[in-house]
Amino acid sequence: MQGCFQGVAVISYGDERLAPSRTAIYIIIAVILFLALTGTLVVLFYPRTVSATSTKLKIIWAEISKNNTRLILQDTVNVKNSNYFVSYLDGINVTVQYQQREVGKNYTKYNSSVTRPTISPRKVTPLNYSITLDFNKETGSDDIWTYCCLIKYSLGFQIQVNTRFSYFSNKFEFSDSMYQIANCNEVIKKADNTCHLDLTGNTKT
């Protein structure tokens, strides 16, 4: 007798109760968006290498004799920032060796954010530094006189570049060593067998 009281419910085809639950879809979309956002932030902010390489060594001033020689070299250091945001140069040390002997160096340290050079993101920034080299007869002045004054040859130097960078709260150090050639073609030999060159724009008398 109980079956006589059972009925059949008729629900319209457009009734929302027949639609599948959207909660799972919302969760999947939220997870995908979260992973995409996290991946983007990791790619943008993950610290990458900031490197520095000596690319062009040039003699800009010279006073050469067999017994004493002074050279001023200009070194162009290309700094490459592989990050997506600005990096800052904290310091750079350029050391020059001639015939496996250290003959000059330039140590530059930047203490405040005002003076620190900014290295643009995803670009190569050239920085110029001058290094003074002094030689006497024991350290190769006569060799330099022979190469530069007598046969107008080139001088080979081993350049060591050590750099320190800041990227947000991260600190980086990078070191590179390369062999560079400085041309002596523009050096002028005088009657007293000394040689001179001045490309600094300062006229010497």
**105-148: pLDDT as tens digits:** 889 888 766 678 889 999 999 988 889 999 998 888 999 999 88
Reported as a single tens digit per residue, the pLDDT across 92-114 is 999 999 888 888 888 988 876 66
Tokens of 87: 């990096």
pLDDT, averaged across the chain: 85
Please check whether residue 168 is in contact with residue 162, taking contact to mean a CB–CB distance below 8 angstroms: no
How many CB atoms sit inside 10 A of residue 198's CB? 15
In the numeric block, the tokens 């350290």 are attached to: 139
How confident is residue 202, by pLDDT bands cut at 50, 70 and 90?
A: low
**In this predicted model, what pLDDT tens digit does every residue of 44-78 receive, in sequence order?**
888 888 888 888 888 999 999 999 999 999 888 89
Full-model pTM:
0.72
Identify the band that residue 205 occupies on the pLDDT scale cut at 50, 70 and 90.
very low
16-43 confidence digits (pLDDT tens) = 665 666 778 888 999 999 999 999 988 8
